[in-house]
Amino acid sequence: MNSTATNKKIAVSLFSGVGGFDLGFKAAGFEIAIAIDNNPIALATYQHNFPHATVLCKDIQKVTGEEIRAHIQAKYVDWDGEIHAVFGGPPCQGFSIAGLQNVEDERNSLVGEFVRLVLELNPLAAIMENVPGIENQKFGCITANLQAVLEEHYFLSKWNLNASDYGVPQARKRVFFVASKFGEIIPPKHQPQHTVRDAIADLLPVPLLPKQNTQEWHPDWVKGEYAKYLEKIFPNLGIVTNIGTGFAATTHTPEVIQQFINTPPGAREAKSKSKKLQWDGFCVTLRAGSGNRTALRPLHPEQPRVISVREAARLHSYPDWFNFSEAILHAQREIGNSVPPLLAYAVGMQVREHLECNITYQIKCQNWQNLHIS
């Protein structure tokens, strides 16, 4: 069934994953017209959490702007052809200091595919997220040319942001390339910070049992202020909320449990090198891993185990109604690969306000010109 595009800020999501970027931009007032990714597992999770979304599971290198526009036109009967924003985070593993930083990594070329689609779609704004390692001089051959191409059509800004400055209880530094038709956009203002305690302390009453992935939210269980804040910013999109997922605990051997017990908060466990979280600090960057390698998961600040999927989701600023894959490894990767929703929300609000201000100004100027011409 076709819907209407009237008064909606149409946006296109590239490299969507499970939709952390999308959740933030949707909360900021954008209408996600289509989400594109080549990972069917991640897109299945996306579709579950965004039940009314249009998704396209396809290699971005084989997607054209014309194809995307056809999907949008089919979805919105009165669409005028204007795209307000294109956003996405191309794979970062080739640029990350946690990896090999190989200039020849084939995934690095996907940044160019993002830029290609931006030029084909010609949105009012485009936002690309990646790791700070992309600014390494060795990648200048990739990024300098792409920035030059964008600057032929847009005003380009570059923001170096830390998620912890935008309410995410995680030290996660990322760079955002922000292009606009109307001039450079300044970075969003910092927001109140939250700690590991704010994020997950209220989850302690929920029993963490091996292989028990779901838990019923007990009616008299009082959620913390941070959890309530997330659900206010990111209201439920129609998902059943009395059952929460991601509570399965990872089973550790007695030897490993003892090693975890012996590790002081803030220190790294000797063998695994996993960092033990501190209640009143930030979580370390949650990573996805690369290839067949799984990323290290931080240790719970009090219990001798790695954090659960639901705890990782809270530390990444996902609301409790947002569900992930049943398999722990898939779920942790989905979270680590995504843009924290609260960070995406701050970016989305800044872009929206910039566009609204300039579009309103243009309309006023046009009305003034029409008045004087007549």
Structure confidence by residue, pLDDT tens digits, 241-265: 677 788 888 889 999 999 999 999 9
The pLDDT value recorded for residue 103 is 47
Nearest Cα to Cα of residue 349 among 29, 124, 7, 130: 29
Helix (H) or strand (E) holding 34: strand 30-37
pLDDT(44) > 50: yes
Q: What is the separation, in whole angstroms, between the first and last Cα of the chain?
A: 42
| Length in residues, the chain | 374
The pLDDT value recorded for residue 309 is 94
pLDDT(346) > 90: yes
Phi, psi at 102, each rounded to 5°? -85, 120
pLDDT(291) > 60: no
Cα dihedral 304, 308, 313, 316 in deg (nearest 10) = 30
Task: List active site positions.
Answer: 92
Per DSSP, 303 falls in state S
pLDDT(374) > 70: no
Structure confidence by residue, pLDDT tens digits, 295-321: 889 999 999 999 999 999 999 999 999
CA angle 366, 118, 6 (to 5 degrees): 50
Structure confidence by residue, pLDDT tens digits, 118-163: 999 999 999 999 988 777 665 566 678 788 899 999 999 999 999 9
Superfamily of domain 9-188, CATH level 4: Vaccinia Virus protein VP39 (3.40.50.150)
pLDDT(292) > 80: no
Question: Is 114 within 8 Å of 100 (Cβ atoms)?
Answer: no
**pTM of the full structure:** 0.92
Nearest Cα to Cα of residue 217 among 236, 233, 197, 193: 236
Question: How many other C-beta atoms can be found within 10 angstroms of the C-beta atom of residue 305?
Answer: 18
- Mean pLDDT within 22-37: 98
Burial class (CB in 10 A: 0-12, 13-18, 19+), 240: exposed
* Pure H helices in 28-87: 40-49, 65-75
Q: Give me the residue spans of the domains in the chain.
A: 9-188
Structure confidence by residue, pLDDT tens digits, 172-207: 999 999 999 999 999 999 999 999 999 999 987 666
Task: With both helix axes pointing from N to C terminus, report the angle between 328-337 and 40-49 in degrees, rounded to the nearest 10.
Answer: 80
Question: Is 117 within 8 Å of 14 (Cβ atoms)?
Answer: yes
The per-residue b/e assignment along 69-82, b for 16 or more CB within 10 angstroms, e otherwise, is bebbeebbeebeee
Structure confidence by residue, pLDDT tens digits, 57-83: 999 999 999 999 999 999 999 999 999
